[in-house]
Amino acid sequence: MAGTRAERPKPFAHAMLVLIGVLFLMPFVWLLITSLKTDEEIFVVPVRWWPSELQWTNYVEAIQAIPFFLYTFNTVWIAALCVAGVAAIAPLVAYGFARIDFKGRNLLFLIMMSTLMLPFQVTMIPIYVSFNKVNLVDSYWPIVLSSWFGTGMAYYIFLMRQFFMGIPYELTESAKIDGASEFRIFAGIMLPLSKPAILTVGLFTFLGAWGDFQGPLIYLNDPDKWTLSIGLKQYIRENTVAWGQLMAASTLFTLPIVVLYFFVQKKFIEGISITGMK
């Protein structure tokens, strides 16, 4: 009886998961369908889910209306730099907080985590002034350095620290007995084991850099350095909005994130599960 009762909620739970999944998928489906409509058909009442004629020209016009490929390259370049820096810094700092016992460790960790309570708007002006004084404004470095050393890094360090704390100390103690240094233990034992956690942190960083709007808006003045998130604004003109082109460009902007998640979802979920164990 107990087993039967335990199994009864499963169909309902599965149905709820499917329903929630469909609800989350609906905005992207609507975006995709709208990108294939004419501007007039988008605002037809009652709403037509399927366009009367597929407007594939929206995609061609969207790419031609702005330097789409240049903005894509700029976005990929910034995201790659952000991911590389975070993937190098976060595990190193997290290992120190998790496995090295030093005076004031818990206090420093608490101070670092408290930075997560600071909204971006609070530090925006002081950080901009600092970058402006060293002539880094209108370059990618303010965006990249903010990713490496900004408040978001505290969250990535926290995730990596949780993962390192879940690794049995017996693995590292035997290496210490054999004379291995802390860095050798970190590079030879901990890093290979932490690939799922690093992948999770890297994916979070990529998503943040790919969709970042405020950073490029504040620091980039040269149109040739703009990213896709800034480029999408160009479809909004003074007296009109090219809705079909905007929806097509937004679909192309979203597509890499969806494809990337499908490729790494198993490792991503594994990384999230592991970092939350301790």
pLDDT digit string (tens) for 59-105? Answer: 999 999 999 999 999 999 999 999 999 999 999 999 999 888 888 88
Can you give the pLDDT at residue 269?
A: 65
Does a structural domain hold residue 2? no
Asked if residue 263 and residue 215 are part of one domain, the reply reads no
Enter the tokens of residue 260: 């990337």
For residue 37, give the amino acid letter.
Answer: K
Cβ 90 vs Cβ 201: under 8 Å: yes
**178, 50: one domain:** no
| Segments forming the whole domain that contains residue 87 | 72-237
Using 50, 70 and 90 to split pLDDT, how confident is the model at 55? confident
Name every residue whose Cβ is closer than 8 Å to that of residue 183 and which is 6 or more positions away in sequence.
none
Give 177: exposed, middle or buried? Use CB within 10 Å, 0-12, 13-18, 19+.
Answer: exposed
Phi and psi of 241, rounded to 5°? -125, 130
pLDDT level of residue 1 (50, 70, 90 thresholds): very low
Q: How far apart are CA 195 and CA 197, in angstroms?
A: 5
269 plus 180 within the same structural domain: no
Same domain, 125 and 208: yes
Q: Based on the fold, state whether residues 55 and 133 are members of the same structural domain.
A: no
Max CA separation in the chain (angstroms): 75
Q: Judge whether residue 277 has pLDDT over 60.
A: no
CB environment 139-154: b (16+ within 10 A), e (fewer)? ebbbbbbbbbebbbbb
State the CATH number of the domain containing residue 189. Answer: 1.10.3720.10
10 Å CB burial of residue 247 (0-12, 13-18, 19+) is buried
Please say whether the beta carbons of 208 and 78 come within 8 A. Answer: no
Same domain, 49 and 34: yes
The count of domains in the chain is 2
Please tell me whether residues 137 and 59 are part of one structural domain: no
* Contact by Cβ (8 Å): 200, 271: yes
β-pair partners for 196: none
For residues 110 and 7, which has the higher predicted lDDT (pLDDT)? Answer: 110
Nearest 5°: the CA angle 61, 67, 73 is 125
- How many other CB atoms are there within 10 angstroms of residue 36's CB atom? 20
Q: Alpha carbon 192 to chain centroid distance?
A: 23
Residues 214 and 81 in one domain: yes
Burial class of residue 136, CB neighbours in 10 A (0-12, 13-18, 19+): middle
Q: The tokens of 95 are what?
A: 């290992």
Residue 3, in any domain of the structure: no
138 and 48, same structural domain? no
pLDDT given at position 119: 84
Residues 119 and 142 in one domain: yes
Q: Is residue 1 part of a domain?
A: no
